[in-house]
Structure 1
């Protein structure tokens, strides 16, 4: 009997020049060890909101559970320290780095949820800051399967990625074309969804960042 796919989210972080933030999973990981991937993971129980008051433009994004957006934001914060959220009027939120580090540690330890962090700092998640680019399900032969939604998110102004040492062996900014070339030469180990995401980023960059 094949494994039941777990709902999950993956988020491709890009900068204003269209470079992607690529991460390498440690060899100790059970799933995709040694592969170059983007931040992501399965949806947690705490990612399901009881109301929509912590979201902007949520009505534009109802084709699947809003928990996919929360999971994408949470994984991005857990893995590379980028906090997505804005003030209730849509303006940029300012949170000091000490608080960011504090909440990230508590989130990784399971002592707080991403939604609780948002509520405490009176933040909202703008769904329009996510660009949905696709949906993949891990093939049946795999013992671990995910039903994943993929998103592109532009690096928020004033923030710098800080990878988590446990989940990430190395991380770097790279042009998507360079990443694909390295993959074809066998220098970067990737799976098809990652390759497809790189191609989607090039389309997004050409249509949104370079015009």
Structure 2
């Protein structure tokens, strides 16, 4: 089973969870972020989106000769075409995105089995979050036990960033966008974050410019792109235009990201 990304980097998935908000009396887009605790081995105190590395439990389970019916929406073959990966890796990336979003934000992109409709109250499943995080249980096991099916049409590919050569943390990270499901509300009940919340992307960038927040380039670039949209509908209309080719070492030379590298020299962290 191949579990490596470009150049042998560890595969990872992150989710930009968005919703429609009202800022100063005007409709605006908001995105969910969290500030990582100082004890995290990677990116301590950085402001990030929910996400993390892909691991074996995210791959399809054929231990009994077949995979359980826990997937509704575009299949792994279609996702492989979208992400330019193998179907097995595409499956794992989608599962990792759904799992990490649930672990870190309590938001579950799933529906009840047998046509029971979308999950609107994920809190009844929150006891599983710690078991998933500790690897005591896989997302597949949780879904089967609770007769749930993930909805792969509720996430959309957004970007792909690969850590530069020489970085201590070497990840090939696929970013996805998801609109907060009706009836659900993300929370900060995770040991990985010291603070969480929904904010307009431009407000987060202003906090970074003021030296109040720490951002890494993939997060900064995603916020920069999101700041051009003012509703989830507007974002989703344009999201197909984003490129899924991995950004590796050329970001520093991209004039679109010049502000990040110019201000990063004076970063206070």
User: Could you state the TM-score of these two structures normalised by the residue count of structure 1?
Assistant: 0.88
Q: Alpha carbons of 1:92 and 1:204: their partners in 2 closer, same or farther (altered >3 Å)?
A: farther
Q: Alpha carbons of 1:171 and 1:93: their partners in 2 closer, same or farther (altered >3 Å)?
A: closer
Aligned residue for 2:10?
Answer: 6
Aligned residue for 1:56?
Answer: 72
Residue 110 of structure 2: SS of its match in structure 1?
coil
Residue 61 of structure 1: SS of its match in structure 2?
helix
Instruction: From the CA coordinates, give the structure whose radius of gyration is larger.
Output: 2
Matched, 1:156 2:156: no
Residue 190 of structure 1: SS of its match in structure 2?
coil
Does structure 2 retain, via aligned residues, the 8 Å contact 1:90–1:126? no
Q: Alpha carbons of 1:34 and 1:94: their partners in 2 closer, same or farther (altered >3 Å)?
A: closer
User: Could you state the TM-score of these two structures normalised by the residue count of structure 2?
Assistant: 0.70
Question: CA offsets per residue over residues 21-53 of structure 1, 9 Å max, x none?
Answer: 110011111111111000111101110113373
For residues 121 and 233 of structure 2, the distance between their equivalents in structure 1, rounded to whole angstroms, comes to: 28
Does structure 2 retain, via aligned residues, the 8 Å contact 1:133–1:200? no
Matched, 1:71 2:96: yes
For residues 127 and 204 of structure 1, the distance between their equivalents in structure 2, rounded to whole angstroms, comes to: 23
Matched, 1:182 2:186: no
| Number of equivalent positions | 208
For residues 96 and 78 of structure 1, the distance between their equivalents in structure 2, rounded to whole angstroms, comes to: 11
- Bigger mean CA offset, 74-83 vs 146-155: 74-83
For residues 16 and 112 of structure 1, the distance between their equivalents in structure 2, rounded to whole angstroms, comes to: 33
Q: Alpha carbons of 1:192 and 1:95: their partners in 2 closer, same or farther (altered >3 Å)?
A: same
Aligned residue for 2:256?
Answer: none
Q: Alpha carbons of 1:52 and 1:188: their partners in 2 closer, same or farther (altered >3 Å)?
A: same
For residues 103 and 182 of structure 2, the distance between their equivalents in structure 1, rounded to whole angstroms, comes to: 18
Question: CA offsets per residue over residues 183-209 of structure 1, 9 Å max, x none?
Answer: 222221101100111133345655725
RMSD: 2.3
Aligned residue for 2:151?
Answer: 126
